[in-house]
Structure 1
Amino acid sequence: MGVSLNLRSSLVLVAAFTAVVASTDANLDGFQVKPFKIDLAAEIPRLNSLVANSRLPAKALYPDGGSGERGIELDVLQELRTDWLTNFDWEAQQAELNTFEQFTAVIEGLTVHFVHEKSADPDAIPVILLHGWPSSFQEFLPVIKPLTESWRSPIGKNISFNVVVPSLPGFVFSDPAPPNWTLDDTARIMNTLMVDVLGYSTYALHGTDWGSGVGYAQYGTYNTTVRAAHFVFIPFFPPLAQDIAENNISLSDDEKVSLQRTIDWNATGNNYFLEQAAKPNDVGLALYDSPAGQLAWIGSKFKVWSDPRAGTPPSVLDNTAILTSVSLYYLTDSFLSSVWIYGQNPNAFRVAYTKAPTDAPLLFSQYEYNFGLWPKEFVAKVGNLVSYKFHDFGGHFAGLDNPPAFIQDIRDIGLYFEA
């Protein structure tokens, strides 16, 4: 039975791949495009053994009252660890991940993993969604298929997307970046993926966290192919309270919450950034074979950077989502290579705001509990801003924090996109 099942799976995989290839102008020969399925189940017994045999303190040494300001709280970590061992089903999550069409391509010698889901609409807009750290392509899975479906705008325009979600170099199923690799290099291969591999002459993009640095580089450098961009985060340090006051910008009560998040991040929240930028090997090697350690390090970011209501509708950022993310990092041995994006790009986020050399529309969405506030007046300094929205639910991981709002954010691109 095992042979026949494997044969049937192979035939289904080939048929699906053939159908996708037939409906695109993908360059298969030059870039060695191959269908991809996730199969990491064989590693789960060892992961579970390591988690089960990891020791945690019996009680918190210095309880902080639930603030998380000094790192992940012991009871939060204990709850996540217990869920990992008793409730989490990797095979179910893997099956869900594999419902998306995935491929690899070799670009400049790097194997790049990506999801490519196409709309039935021949006029669908190509869009690439770019994740950051400690996220992965998983962040956007709740929004991919809805974006491929046609939406009729208030002005009567039908809008849908061909959605591409890559894994950045060094993240999960993509190869680690070579030495001295920068965000500009990643931007180049992402543009190659869209234009030369997949055959899209023009496209739109979305970026968050490190993906915003990559996307912003694409937005300015490849300005004839990138014809619209949406961000929830930009590679410029958010203004301080003094900067906002000096520019005579009045903030709403919700925006003041976002500003406080900026203040908190600047005070104690960015220490991980300094560590990973200066000594990526220290944390990368220390946690390389410690799933419980990665859970503490990554889990704290998901907990603190998200909306406090995370896990309640419309958020889908629950413990299962966090455990899936950490499992992907651990099972692909990519924690070390992922933190090196900091070591290779320590100065990627800028203080001085400069405008990208493009007339392509720029859209921005501020989620209240993101850890930075970028007022409209500051976002307008970096591109051709045509839309600025504020969402009072959601944080740093918009695709998981508030999928309905994020879907509408991306659909708004269609109101401005011109091929």
Structure 2
Amino acid sequence: MSDMIPAHSRRTFVATSTAAATAAAIGGSFGLLSAQTAEAAEAGTSFRPSAGGSIRPFRVNFPQKDLADLRQRIVSTRWPEKETVADQSQGAQLATMKELAHYWASEYDWRKVEAKLNSHPQFITEIDGLDIHFVHVRSKHENAMPIIVTHGWPGSIIEQMKIIEPLTNPTAHGGKASDAFHVVIPSIPGYGFSGKPTGKGWDPERIAQAWAELMKRLGYNKYVAQGGDWGSIITDLMARQKPQGLIGIHVNLPGVVPPAIEKAIASGNPLPSGTVLSDEEKAAVDQLDFVYKHVYYAYMMASRPQTLTGLVDSPISLASFLVDHDAASLAMISRSFAGHKEGLSRDDVLDNVTLFWLTKTGISAARLFAENKAPFFAVKGVTLPVAVSVFPDEIYQAPESWAKQAYPNLIRYNKVSKGGHFAAWEQPALFVDEVRAGFRSLR
């Protein structure tokens, strides 16, 4: 195993590297492309494309002692006093976290998600000096469209597990053979099973370039990309870079805010003089104003990620930090641990938190906020075809008017009936419908 694999990965994965397994990863119906990137695409970047690169299959198998240690740490938690308010305005409530801890320590079974992960082909390949982990599932249907799907924070590839089968096997899930996709789901550097950068420079721009290299290495000469949260930013940047083979994108947290408006909101200043907004645009401004006033976790990760040592030392510290992403998601997760079945289940939440814990990626994932130079919500300059899905409980509702301005080649805009920030994870059936519809015109 490569020295670039972090220590936890070296003891976590069982590797096989036979030529047959590599061939299975690549697939037979797409001819391999050259791994060299055009000099023009490289200009002004620190990205170093490889001249090839092995693709090494992996399976996940954490030692039992790691799970025993996790349970012991949970039951040994030193709890704070109860919040002094009756709502979630002070963060994840004590009752929610105690219920989460009880279920995590006494009933939750990590081996189930481990088996789920291992039911899909997973691989590691070194790109630009860093090991990149990815799931790669090819459809049985001819002419399936290759798609690379990128997760966000505080997520992981766990977010996309529910959409793999419907995308690759649509005839068994309400679709047609013509809706089929070959699915590639990479772990962002510093997240999950990908390597942890040991120096600066792995920002969304570089990740976008790495994803293009990955798709080349897999032999896909025509493909689409999808993302939410960080995945939306990375996907937007891929589209702006226009790598050979990328023909369109779908995003569910689109970057459509006029730059001057986002700058004003982020800095707490009035909107530019003369700004005229529709009711829909005004609502989006109000939502973004709320976001910028309440994303303290983002400011902390962007400025002082190394201070968050508790995220790799205390499982409950990690869990409370990850579940408190946004007000709607926290409320939904709290209801789930109170016994209501909706959106994310208790197991869904703990599958993701446990992955963060076992891979010790609380801080390495946080560093992406410190690396980022791109605006979160503003226009990125994308001219490729774009499909946009707006989920009602997302942190802001992107107006169609802004989407048309931001994406001059907008091929679809749709408001979905339910779902929030973790759309693929919360509402997989609706999400799959959106992806199918979004790319149908590009087949």
Q: Aligning the two structures, in what range does the TM-score lie when normalised by the shorter sequence?
A: 0.7 to 0.9
Aligned twin of 2:89: 69
Shift of 1:320: 0.8
Q: Deviations over 1:181-200 (max 9, x none)?
A: 221111111000011x1011
Q: Which runs of 5+ in 2 are unaligned?
A: 1-13, 36-50
Separation of aligned partners in 2, 1:190 and 1:175: 14
Aligned twin of 2:374: 348
Q: Does 1:373 align with 2:373?
A: no
Aligned twin of 2:202: 181
Aligned twin of 1:324: 351
Q: Which among 148, 157, 168 is matched to residue 128 of structure 1?
A: 148
Q: Does 1:48 align with 2:78?
A: no
Instruction: State how 1:19-418 maps to structure 2 within 5 Å.
Output: 19-23=24-28, 25=31, 30-42=52-64, 43-57=66-80, 59-62=81-84, 64-66=85-87, 68-150=88-170, 158-177=178-197, 178-195=199-216, 197-222=217-242, 224-235=244-255, 246-251=275-280, 261-267=287-293, 269-283=294-308, 285-301=309-325, 304-305=328-329, 308=332, 315-345=342-372, 347-349=373-375, 353=379, 355-356=381-382, 358=383, 360-383=384-407, 384-418=409-443
* Alpha-carbon distance change, 416 to 315 in structure 1, aligned in 2, over 3 angstroms: farther
Question: Which moved further from structure 2: 240-249 or 270-279?
Answer: 240-249
Separation of aligned partners in 1, 2:388 and 2:79: 42
Separation of aligned partners in 1, 2:371 and 2:243: 25
Separation of aligned partners in 2, 1:128 and 1:38: 21
Per the normalisation by structure 2, the TM-score is 0.80
Separation of aligned partners in 2, 1:179 and 1:208: 24
* Alpha-carbon distance change, 55 to 143 in structure 1, aligned in 2, over 3 angstroms: same
Q: Deviations over 1:115-138 (max 9, x none)?
A: 011111220100011111110011
CA RMSD, 1 decimal: 3.3
Counterpart contact for 1:187–1:218, Cα < 8 Å: yes
Shift of 1:318: 1.3
1:123 counterpart SS class: coil
How many equivalent pairs are there?
A: 397
Q: Deviations over 1:61-112 (max 9, x none)?
A: 41x323x222111111111111101110011121112111111111111110
Separation of aligned partners in 2, 1:36 and 1:276: 30
* Alpha-carbon distance change, 233 to 313 in structure 1, aligned in 2, over 3 angstroms: farther
Aligned twin of 1:3: none
Separation of aligned partners in 1, 2:27 and 2:380: 42
Question: Which moved further from structure 2: 295-304 or 270-279?
Answer: 295-304
Per the normalisation by structure 1, the TM-score is 0.85
Separation of aligned partners in 2, 1:297 and 1:404: 28
Please tell me the residue identity of whatever aligns with 1:34.
Answer: R
Shift of 1:306: 6.2
Shift of 1:15: 7.1
Separation of aligned partners in 2, 1:307 and 1:226: 37
Q: Deviations over 1:266-311 (max 9, x none)?
A: 33x211111110111111x232221111011012227743674875
Shift of 1:350: 5.3
Shift of 1:263: 4.2
Separation of aligned partners in 2, 1:158 and 1:147: 11
1:219 counterpart SS class: helix
Percentage of identical aligned residues = 25
Separation of aligned partners in 1, 2:98 and 2:175: 51
* Alpha-carbon distance change, 243 to 126 in structure 1, aligned in 2, over 3 angstroms: farther
Counterpart contact for 1:277–1:344, Cα < 8 Å: yes
Question: Which moved further from structure 2: 29-38 or 199-208?
Answer: 29-38
Q: Which runs of 5+ in 1 are unaligned?
A: 1-8
Shift of 1:329: 0.7
* Alpha-carbon distance change, 160 to 209 in structure 1, aligned in 2, over 3 angstroms: same
* Alpha-carbon distance change, 26 to 36 in structure 1, aligned in 2, over 3 angstroms: farther
Counterpart contact for 2:125–2:132, Cα < 8 Å: yes
Q: Deviations over 1:201-251 (max 9, x none)?
A: 121011111111111111111254211100011346586899799544244
Aligned twin of 2:38: none
Separation of aligned partners in 1, 2:146 and 2:211: 13
Question: Which moved further from structure 2: 324-333 or 24-33?
Answer: 24-33
Shift of 1:400: 1.2
* Alpha-carbon distance change, 352 to 109 in structure 1, aligned in 2, over 3 angstroms: closer
Aligned twin of 1:4: none
